[in-house]
Amino acid sequence: MTQLVTEQEQQEAVKALTDLISVPSFNQPAEDGAPFGRGIRNALDKMMEICKSLGFKTYEDPDGYYGYAEVGEGDKIFGVICHLDTVPAGDPKTWEHDPFKGTVVNDAVYGRGSQDDKGPGIAALFAVKALMDRGYQFNQRIRFIYGTDEEILWRGIAQYNKKESQIDSGISPDAEFPLIYAEKGLQQSYLVGPGTDQLKLSLKNAFNAVPDKAVYDGPKQDEVKAALDKHGFKYTSDDHSITVLGKSVHAMLAPEGTNAVLRLAIALNDVFDFKPLKFIGELFKEDATGSNVFGKVEDESGQLTMNISSLEINEKETRMQIDLRIPVTVDRDKLLKTLQEKVAPYDLKYVHFDYVAPLYVPKDSKLIQTLMDVYKEQAGDSSATPQISGGATFARTMNNCVAFGGMLPTTPDYMHQANEQWPLKDMFKAMEIYAQAIKRLCVD
Ligand SMILES: [Zn+2]
């Protein structure tokens, strides 16, 4: 197969990437027209300037939340979803060179954002430039969409989705090759019930982690210890408190952790007669796949996980915080209805907090077949398969969109780390993969 990207486009891409890295763009306090700080807005301005110079039509949100750049004609839009914000550099002493100078060191583009996500965004952009240089006409619009808040709350892309046209299909170059086609839905909620004056608990933790400690300093300490012993749960204690011990893991891996909050609740349920505690002690127990509540819930994207991370009980109310990771083909409404029915006998009510829809594009779709064919040919890896991720990429913010590259499986991972750098040979390989893929999807 003929190489589409020439050395000239490779060098232009390196130049653009070093320019973009030298505009620091980590989150900072909001300013007028710069909701995530002046640096990120400057990077957005810079990116629009680069796109314009290549012959793209550009649009920059006047409020500074997003921008996009487009080439081609037609009703349909093929999206390339990137982000311009980065994590901060961290301790400058851990870097061998200036993270924001934008340099080429030892045959790698060096600096914050070189891998995540300025580098892959530029690689895909100049891949399209290579197609333009060769005179190809596109059968749809190719739109590069730039988010500005990927590392924190995705508020930039949320504004895009509120105000702009949806894409018909697309890729997000913000992960690894070959591609990610499935990420579970993410539901965060509360279970809220009555209070009691029997006991007081204030076990507050983040939604997305399995808690490894749960402290109890209420009455009946000896009985609670005896209950913990009976169940074989580990704890430490002093004169006035008991600390139940667990093992912390990310909520997406909840079944592999040991939840200290659940263990304490199970023991307390043996000592106190209080309905909401029975939900954990008698129904949910310790099974973070939720099978005691829902039965087995599983598909090709894996099994359901349910993490109960916080438990607060006082005289006014009981409140639990739950994080559900829902397999991609499961009916969320039905699942949540089952949950409501199952918690009702324990005087608990379901309260919605936040939902992030799943990513799912069927493996036999034209998009995935084409991207996989191109990757296999270009990487010389005929055994590559589409991947499932437990995390969350920008791909899930758009219709019919998958995470595609830019890191090769052999690229050393520097994302969010000191000395972030992207070897030129990997960058050029990614450019060629993007050029071949977009040609196959958007030309002919
Ligand atoms: Zn990223």
- Partners of 258 in beta bridges: 247
Q: Residue 116 C-alpha to ligand 1 middle, in angstroms?
A: 5
Which amino acid is located at 364 in the chain?
Answer: D
Q: Residue 146 C-alpha to ligand 1 middle, in angstroms?
A: 11
Helices 424-442 and 7-21: crossing angle, nearest 10°? 110
Q: What is the mean pLDDT of each run of 10 residues along the chain (444 residues)?
A: 94 98 98 98 98 98 98 97 96 95 96 97 98 97 98 95 97 97 95 96 93 96 97 96 96 95 98 97 97 96 96 98 96 98 98 93 97 97 92 90 96 95 98 98 92
By CB atoms closer than 10 A (0-12, 13-18, 19+), residue 139 is: middle
Domain map (residue ranges) of the chain: 7-183+359-442, 185-356
What pLDDT score does 392 carry? 83
Q: Is 36 left (phi over 0), alpha (psi -120 to 50) or beta?
A: alpha
- Closest-CA residue to 174 (of 73, 290, 86): 86
> CA-CA distance, 379 to 433, in Å (whole number)?
8
Q: Residue 341 C-alpha to ligand 1 middle, in angstroms?
A: 39
**Does domain 7-183+359-442 bear CATH number 2.40.170.20?**
no
Q: Residue 289 C-alpha to ligand 1 middle, in angstroms?
A: 29
Catalytic residue, chosen from 9, 12, 60, 85, is 85
Distance of CA 116 to the CA centre of its chain: 13
Kindly report the CATH class assigned to 185-356.
alpha beta
- Closest-CA residue to 369 (of 299, 431, 433, 437): 437
Q: Residue 418 C-alpha to ligand 1 middle, in angstroms?
A: 15
Q: Residue 83 C-alpha to ligand 1 middle, in angstroms?
A: 7
Q: Residue 237 C-alpha to ligand 1 middle, in angstroms?
A: 43
Catalytic residue, chosen from 70, 150, 312, 432, is 150
Q: Is 74 left (phi over 0), alpha (psi -120 to 50) or beta?
A: left
- Closest-CA residue to 175 (of 402, 340, 337, 381): 402
Q: Is 96 part of the annotated catalytic residue set?
A: no
> CA-CA distance, 147 to 345, in Å (whole number)?
44
Q: Residue 43 C-alpha to ligand 1 middle, in angstroms?
A: 15
Distance of CA 297 to the CA centre of its chain: 22
Query: Cα separations (Å) of 367 from 299, 379, 405, 440?
Result: 21, 18, 14, 10
What pLDDT score does 63 carry? 97
Which amino acid is located at 51 in the chain?
Answer: C
Alpha helix stretches (DSSP H) within 232-382: 260-271, 275-278, 291-294, 332-343, 366-379
Q: Residue 133 C-alpha to ligand 1 middle, in angstroms?
A: 28
What pLDDT score does 91 carry? 92
What pLDDT score does 212 carry? 96
> CA-CA distance, 138 to 159, in Å (whole number)?
27
**Residues 43 and 20 sit within 8 Å (Cβ to Cβ):** yes
What pLDDT score does 391 carry? 77
Q: Is 192 left (phi over 0), alpha (psi -120 to 50) or beta?
A: beta
DSSP 126-155: HHHHHHHHTTPPPSSEEEEEEES-TTTT-H
DSSP 400-413: TEEE--EE-TTS--
Q: Residue 174 C-alpha to ligand 1 middle, in angstroms?
A: 5
Question: 51 — phi, psi (to 5°)?
Answer: -60, -45
Question: 371 — phi, psi (to 5°)?
Answer: -60, -40
Tokens matching residue 116: 């995540």
**Residues 308 and 261 sit within 8 Å (Cβ to Cβ):** yes
Look up residue 354 and give its DSSP letter.
E
Q: Residue 9 C-alpha to ligand 1 middle, in angstroms?
A: 24
Q: Which residues contact 378 (CB under 8 A, 6 or more apart)?
A: 429, 432, 433, 436
Q: Is 107 part of the annotated catalytic residue set?
A: no
Q: Residue 314 C-alpha to ligand 1 middle, in angstroms?
A: 41
**Residues 367 and 441 sit within 8 Å (Cβ to Cβ):** yes
**Residues 5 and 431 sit within 8 Å (Cβ to Cβ):** yes
